[in-house]
């Protein structure tokens, strides 16, 4: 077995690992840094692919694609590399098809979803309740959240069952959970969900394309002929980081199988090589970090944690067209659909490239991915196209190319977009996710406290782990403040998270509540019959509660 | 890398792997069978240890120790080896200390726990509800359970929060969950809990020491000088199986790291060896099976499942005494205690050996194990002894030896007694737990349909996997009926589980309900003040519900 010696070995060449390397390199150019990656490419859960399009060949992100103005880490990186972002296209009618098997297809041209008055009211009260709870969560240490034990003891599903008034709202939450986590609401801790929302600045930030939200911008795909842009899309962030660090420090196709450590050093092993070093940063998702063999064994708290952090199941598709026919028909390209035997997709967006190649992007996720992943590609494609025809018109059938990526099948990913926590873990084991184990430091977007689960969180976590390693190997490269911050984080003494610095989305919430209240009052005054119906529905909800109880 | 060729390679030399080998050997003596075990011993989660005792040295089970008359697989094995069982000692007062920080220590001499009338009524209604739900569960295919989706969407905690009347009952369920699963009620799916209870014949079967229950018998520790008994206790079942199969077929200290397979054969790899074979049976617990590297990758459903099946955290202790002083004082040795800063133990039992060496055995589990595992042994021991002194008297301080085993720290176990399922899994992924993947067949007590999680389930699962392998390699060794059964199981066509053949425990339930009703009526008639108190308590429960709603 070939043996090499380094200062720091980083496991994983996604945004997290490469950001860690960048920070280490910037602070101390003398550190010998090696990045080992199982895949044959950098970028982790971001990958940009060339597809046949209206203007010949264009590029689309088959993984993470959106960034937002409150995602300060990724926006800084974009600025550092002189890249540009552009706003997600949202003009026009949004299609909404949720609300039981007999639901009508609704459209809306505003940012308020096309829901009935009662469901809008239900949405408002639910978002208000969840945001209120979310604002009490300590992102660094969810155990400090008031009533943490109780919030962590139920699934998101259980909370919604208890607090949503309408069946349609419950279905809506299913769609949201599928799209954001690739996971059903019954698979995750409600406290974890609150923590995740808090790290993003509020629950609506996870769902919207408005300023400050998760789907605000996309990264421009520059012309591939430019010397500095080997691929374009979001993967170029990782490509450029690798270039900056030096490609000679990145070894692809090198899956780490074991990490041994003693008082002297750590030994990071692949099937054929052994890399001795003074510190290791493991950046791969928890379920993959759990597959590495550690000697001595990791603390059982960490082992138990990574046994219980399932990764989402997400398939992304991109469909290219001669022209963005939906725009001409007044649609934004945004579709939100309920799971059904015929329709695999959960959500679509306009995916037209900055150079004008028309496309729709969408996701098959959670239970829908489970149901559809084992079928033939052609069957899935035909079902997706059929759904698009139903929602956007016949033109959807005349596509140029259909491309999809099932992240669960990608080796050294095994799922996307993020690992969540099952109930009963956050209140016991959360600190184990970041606490260094000897010479091993942990990064990856799942360990982030700002936009956990996103590219932004990946970068934040990489930089945080790099500071930890610098504090260990060469503390003189850190300011007094940074050293204290590292120490404080490791002592879990933080009382509040950086999420508090993210602009509040309460104006969105307030706007939504106000609008629905005004709409509801107007409609009810104008339509006495609707008023009676609504009271009838409300009465049924109340009666059902009593019957259940 | 040394290469060998075999017919069947079995991963794991616990009861499951050894039972699989025994069945294969019995049906076809020509099959070349190899068992690979990571540990340096056979027995998996059963291990018997020599400890200093009143009569010199005696043996105690530091892992699985109880069997019951309805556990037909393990009872058959005990009979086959000419071993004997003896009844768990339960005569005398049972100590019960549950019910909030100011709870009184209560004792009871009957099989009915020492609870207040209201809590007894609460227990009755809860056991009745859970058993009624449990009887509707299809153990082979929980997806077929009526309302499966909803039952799997909540934690056991959420169900109890909704259906228990009293805070004390909620605490009781915590203790039960800790003792049975080494897990908190908020960490597992309620449907999984129901399935587990159904596989055991009812929820009380999991908790009691009465006929048909989990804690009914212990296996006699025979004299070690006898030629056929190298160790005694329950581990001797595995020792004898290994002897019967032939020790030359069992390789200890051989941890499997990878399993590759193609159309021709499978290749089971350790760090130094490569074993080619026609079929593999993997018997290790799901979280360890998940650490093996498979090529081609396993179906994502299975990967997602094993990412979400946490193992319990259980520490077992055995304390030997000069004499069973508790018996003389009228105690049974059974203590059930609430978690507190002072008391690490959840439960204790009389553990006196058949040869008369006095001992108490007990468990530190779930949240208590989490809190206490990182402290020094001496601190834990002193706290356990102090608790025993509190509950049984000063004599508890004069012990001969204190021995404990933290199963989370044992390599190639990482926890005990069983892996459970987090919410949202059973209804999607359960079939993946048993469905063969190419040449790989799955066993282990977690895959059992009778006494899942127990030694009995381990044996059942090993025999089932062996039949699957025989159906593949030499179907002529199976009866037509067996072939059809293997086929049917693989098609998941079973409509009902063997749990239905286990004698019902409804008589226990009925007795409990009747007794509590009679007691309650008598007490309430005799004590009008108590009646008023009880109505007051009930009123508070109702008011709290309304407030929550």
Nearest CA in chain B to A314: B300
- What is the C-alpha to C-alpha distance for residues B520 and B121, in angstroms, rounded to an integer? 8
Which residues touch B406 (CB under 8 Å, ≥6 apart)? B315, B369, B373
| Predicted complex ipTM exceeds 0.95 | no
Contacts of B299 in chain A (CB under 8 A): 374
Instruction: For residue B307, give the DSSP letter.
Output: T
Which residues 171-230 of chain B have a CB within 8 Å of chain A?
A: 183-188
Distances, alpha carbon B67 to alpha carbons B77, B134, B179, B208, B313, in Å: 11, 22, 16, 12, 21
For testing contact with chain A, the best of B158, B162, B255, B546 (most A CBs within 10 A): B158
pLDDT band at residue B497, thresholds of 50, 70 and 90?
very low
Which residues 133-172 of chain B have a CB within 8 Å of chain A?
A: 149, 152-155, 157-158, 161
Tell me the pairing of strands A279-282 and A440-442: parallel
**How many other CB atoms are found less than 10 A from the CB of residue B480?**
8
> How far from chain centre, in Å, is Cα B203?
13
Span B252-271, mean pLDDT?
Answer: 96
- What is the C-alpha to C-alpha distance for residues B366 and B364, in angstroms, rounded to an integer? 7
- What is the C-alpha to C-alpha distance for residues A528 and A522, in angstroms, rounded to an integer? 11
Which residues touch A183 (CB under 8 Å, ≥6 apart)? A177, A310, A312, A313, A366, A420, B424
pLDDT band at residue B506, thresholds of 50, 70 and 90?
very low
Q: Please state the length of chain B.
A: 549
pLDDT of residue A227: 46
Mean pLDDT of chain B: 88
Taking the whole predicted model, whether its pTM rises above 0.90 is answered as no
pLDDT of residue B499: 28
pLDDT band at residue B493, thresholds of 50, 70 and 90?
very low
Instruction: For residue A224, give the DSSP letter.
Output: T
The per-residue pLDDT for range B267-324, each reduced to its tens digit, is 999 989 999 999 999 999 999 999 999 999 999 889 888 888 999 999 999 999 999 9
- What is the C-alpha to C-alpha distance for residues A547 and B436, in angstroms, rounded to an integer? 44
pLDDT of residue B505: 42
Closest CA relative to residue A407, chosen from A36, A64, A52, A67:
A64
Q: Report DSSP letters for B207-221, one per residue.
A: H--STTSTTSEEE--
- The answer, yes or no, to whether residue B541 has pLDDT greater than 60, is no
Closest CA relative to residue B482, chosen from B500, B463, B459, B509:
B463
Q: Report DSSP letters for B480-491, one per residue.
A: HHHHHHHHHHHT
**Do residue A300 and residue B414 have CB atoms under 8 angstroms apart?**
yes
- The answer, yes or no, to whether residue B189 has pLDDT greater than 80, is yes
pLDDT of residue B229: 45
- What is the C-alpha to C-alpha distance for residues A345 and A363, in angstroms, rounded to an integer? 6
Residue B438 near residue B268 (C-beta atoms within 8 A): no
- What is the C-alpha to C-alpha distance for residues A111 and A106, in angstroms, rounded to an integer? 14
Among positive and negative, which fits the CA dihedral A466, A468, A473, A478?
A: positive
Which residues touch B432 (CB under 8 Å, ≥6 apart)? B299, B301, B302, B305
The per-residue pLDDT for range B404-422, each reduced to its tens digit, is 999 999 999 999 999 999 9
- The answer, yes or no, to whether residue B347 has pLDDT greater than 70, is yes
pLDDT of residue B435: 92
Which residues 92-111 of chain B have a CB within 8 Å of chain A?
A: none
**Do residue A187 and residue B424 have CB atoms under 8 angstroms apart?**
yes
Q: Tell me the two tokens of residue B221.
A: 């520790």
Q: Tell me the two tokens of residue B546.
A: 């309304």
Whether residue A287 lies within 8 A of chain B, CB to CB, comes out as yes
- The answer, yes or no, to whether residue B230 has pLDDT greater than 50, is no
Which residues 396-455 of chain B have a CB within 8 Å of chain A?
A: 408-409, 411, 414-415, 422-425, 428
Q: DSSP alpha helices (H): ranges in B325-445?
A: 325-328, 367-372, 377-392, 426-429
Instruction: For residue A212, give the DSSP letter.
Output: T
Backbone angles phi, psi at A332, to 5 degrees: -85, -15
pLDDT tens across the length of chain A (549 residues): 788 999 999 999 999 999 999 999 999 999 999 999 999 999 999 999 999 999 889 999 999 999 999 999 999 999 999 999 999 999 999 999 998 888 999 999 887 788 888 999 999 999 999 999 999 998 988 989 999 999 999 999 999 999 999 999 999 999 999 999 999 999 999 999 999 999 999 999 998 888 999 999 999 865 545 444 444 689 999 999 999 999 999 999 999 999 999 999 999 999 899 999 999 999 999 999 999 999 999 998 898 888 889 999 999 999 999 999 999 999 999 999 987 889 999 999 999 998 899 999 999 999 899 889 989 999 999 999 999 999 999 999 999 999 999 999 999 999 999 999 999 988 877 788 999 999 999 999 999 999 999 999 999 999 999 999 999 999 999 999 999 988 888 775 333 333 233 333 444 555 566 656 666 566 556 665 655 665 566 566 555 544 443
For testing contact with chain B, the best of A156, A271, A272, A307 (most B CBs within 10 A): A307
Of residues A431 and B102, the one with the higher pLDDT is: B102
Give me the residues paired with residue B11 across strands: B36, B282
Span B160-183, mean pLDDT?
Answer: 94
Terminal Cα-to-Cα distance of chain A (whole angstroms): 65
């Amino acid at each position: 077995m070939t043996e090499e010696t380094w200062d720091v070995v980083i496991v994983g060449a996604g945004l997290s690992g490469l950001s860690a390397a960048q920070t280490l390199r910037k602070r101390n150019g003398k550190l010998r840094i090696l990045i080992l990656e199982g895949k044959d490419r950098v970028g982790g859960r971001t990958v940009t692919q060339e597809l046949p399009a209206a203007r010949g060949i264009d590029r689309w992100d088959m993984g993470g694609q959106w960034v937002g103005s409150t995602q300060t880490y990724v926006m800084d990186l974009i600025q550092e590399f002189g890249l540009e972002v552009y706003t997600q296209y949202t003009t026009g009618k949004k299609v909404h098809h949720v609300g039981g098997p007999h639901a009508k297809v609704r459209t809306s041209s505003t940012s308020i979803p096309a829901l009935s008055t009662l469901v809008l009211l239900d949405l408002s009260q639910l978002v208000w309740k969840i945001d209120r709870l979310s604002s009490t969560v300590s992102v660094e240490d969810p155990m400090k959240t008031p009533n943490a034990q109780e919030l962590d003891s139920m699934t998101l599903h259980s909370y919604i069952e208890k607090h949503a008034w309408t069946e349609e709202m419950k279905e809506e939450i299913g769609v949201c959970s599928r799209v954001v986590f690739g996971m059903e609401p019954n698979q995750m801790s409600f406290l974890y969900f609150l923590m995740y929302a808090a790290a993003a600045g509020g629950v609506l930030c996870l769902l919207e394309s408005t300023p400050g939200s998760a789907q605000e911008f996309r990264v421009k795909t520059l012309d591939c002929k430019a010397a500095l842009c080997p691929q374009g899309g979001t993967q170029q962030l990782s490509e450029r980081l690798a270039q900056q660090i030096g490609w000679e420090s990145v070894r692809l196709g090198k899956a780490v199988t074991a990490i041994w450590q003693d008082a002297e050093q750590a030994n990071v092993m692949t099937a054929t090589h052994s890399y001795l070093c003074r510190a290791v940063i493991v950046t791969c998702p928890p379920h993959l970090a759990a597959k590495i063999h550690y000697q001595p064994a990791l603390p059982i708290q960490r082992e138990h944690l990574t046994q219980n952090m399932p990764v989402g199941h997400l398939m992304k598709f991109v469909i290219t067209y001669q022209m963005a026919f939906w725009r001409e028909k007044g649609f934004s390209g945004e579709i939100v659909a309920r799971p059904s035997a015929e329709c695999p997709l959960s959500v679509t967006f306009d995916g037209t490239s900055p150079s004008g190649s028309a496309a729709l992007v969408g996701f098959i996720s959670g239970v829908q991915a489970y149901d559809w992943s084992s079928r033939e590609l052609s069957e899935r494609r035909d079902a997706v196209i059929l759904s698009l025809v139903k929602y956007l018109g016949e033109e959807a059938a005349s596509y140029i190319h259909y491309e999809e990526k099932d992240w669960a099948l990608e080796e050294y990913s095994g799922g996307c977009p993020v690992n969540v926590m099952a109930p009963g873990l956050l209140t016991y084991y959360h600190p184990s996710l970041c606490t260094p184990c000897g010479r091993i430091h942990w990064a990856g977007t799942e360990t982030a406290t700002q936009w956990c689960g996103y590219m932004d969180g990946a970068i934040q976590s990489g930089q945080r782990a790099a500071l930890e390693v610098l504090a260990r190997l060469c503390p003189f490269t850190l300011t007094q403040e940074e050293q204290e911050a590292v120490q404080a984080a490791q002592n879990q003494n933080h009382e509040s998270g950086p999420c508090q610095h993210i602009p509040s989305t309460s104006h969105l919430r307030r706007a939504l509540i106000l609008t629905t209240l005004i709409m509801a009052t107007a409609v009810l005054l104008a339509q006495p019959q609707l008023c009676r119906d609504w009271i009838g529905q409300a009465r049924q909800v109340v009666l059902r509660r009593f019957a259940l109880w």
